[in-house]
Amino acid sequence: MRNEVSVVARVYDLTLWLLPHLAKFSCAHRFTLGDRIEVTALELLECLVDASYRADKQPALTVSCV
């Protein structure tokens, strides 16, 4: 068995890394660009977690999810 990390764990790690970096954005960018990046990362993580618990993963991974 290969030692593979799931995509959910990788996106979770990316989100954990990303949030402190977004806090360092200047005020002009933190509340526009930073907020969009944060919301998109969290929505992506939510969709992947949702899909990991479903038998039929396709509905949880549609484009409308993110």
* pLDDT computed for residue 65 by the predictor: 55
Asked if 54 and 13 count as a contact pair (C-beta separation under 8 A), the reply is no
Q: Is the full-model pTM beyond 0.95?
A: no
Asked if 52 and 11 count as a contact pair (C-beta separation under 8 A), the reply is no
* pLDDT computed for residue 47 by the predictor: 86
pLDDT beyond 70 at 1:
no
Token digits of residue 62: 């549609």
Distance CA 56, CA 66 (A): 18
The structure tokens 């990046």 sit at 37
Reported as a single tens digit per residue, the pLDDT across 48-66 is 888 888 777 677 667 665 4
How big is the chain by its Cα radius of gyration, in Å? 14
* pLDDT computed for residue 21 by the predictor: 95
Domain ranges within the chain, ordered by starting residue: 7-65
Reported as a single tens digit per residue, the pLDDT across 18-42 is 999 999 999 888 889 999 999 999 9
Report the candidate in 61, 37, 39, 62 with the shortest Cα–Cα distance to residue 48.
Answer: 61
